[in-house]
Amino acid sequence: MSDRGLIVGGLVLFLALVTLPLWFNVAAGTTSKLPELTLPEGKDPFGTAEYMRASHMDLLMTWRDEVVRNQERTVVGLDGKTYAKSLTGTCLACHVNRATFCDRCHDYAAVKPTCWECHLEPRPVQRAAQ
């Protein structure tokens, strides 16, 4: 039949598309290594690493709503200290570098958070001046 070439060609194309991750990652030299983060000293006062990895965005959104809608601007951390509910002022005070902390995982998981459209990224120069 004259259609055989067409059908086999279509099947081969389909198989090539379905197995795309296999050869794409071979070509890109990808391994299953996790992205490396620069972590600050000490413990996070707002939750375990496990909780933070999965739900930090939920925490930030909850803070945002509480600050913007209820004017609840402070939070008591697990260590008993009071913190301002602030991404730039609190979170990024310890997690100094956005590029080697936030972005590493966000790029890895192809997440594009809208945080940085408004929030400023504290630069090391500014910090030194303070």
Partner 1 sequence: MNVLGSLAVASLLAGLGFVGGQAAGLRPVFGTLIPYAAFVTFLLGVSYRILVWMRSPVPFRIPTTCGQQKSLPWIKSSRLENPSSTLGVIGRMALEIGLFRSLFRDTRVELREGPRLAYGEARLLWLGALLFHWSLLFVVLRHLRFFLEPVPAVVNVLASVDSFFQVGAPGLYVTDVVLTGALGYLLLRRLVNPQVRYISLFADYFALFLLLGIAVSGILMRYVVRIDTVAAKQLALGLVTFSPVLPEKVGPLFFVHLFLLSVLAAYFPFSKLMHMGGVFLSPTRNLANTSRMRRHINPWNSPVKVHTYEEWEDEFRDKIKAAGLPLEKE
Minimal distance in Å, beta carbon 70 to partner 1? 18
Closer to partner 1 by Cβ: residue 57 or 78: 57
Report the distance separating Cα 118 and Cα 122, nearest Å.
12
CB of 127 within 8 A of CB of 95?
no
Structure tokens at 23: 């050869």
The verdict on 17 binding partner 1 (CB under 8 A) reads no
**Which of 75, 88, 94, 83 is closest to 115 using CA atoms?**
88
The verdict on 7 binding partner 1 (CB under 8 A) reads yes
The verdict on 84 binding partner 1 (CB under 8 A) reads no
One of 9, 19, 99, 116 touching partner 1 (CB under 8 A): 19
CB of 75 within 8 A of CB of 98?
no
Closer to partner 1 by Cβ: residue 89 or 113: 113
DSSP label at residue 32: S
CB of 82 within 8 A of CB of 74?
yes
The site for partner 1 (CB under 8 A) is made up of 1, 3-4, 7-8, 10-11, 14-15, 18-22, 24-26, 28, 30-32, 34-35, 50, 53-55, 57-58, 60-61, 105, 107-114
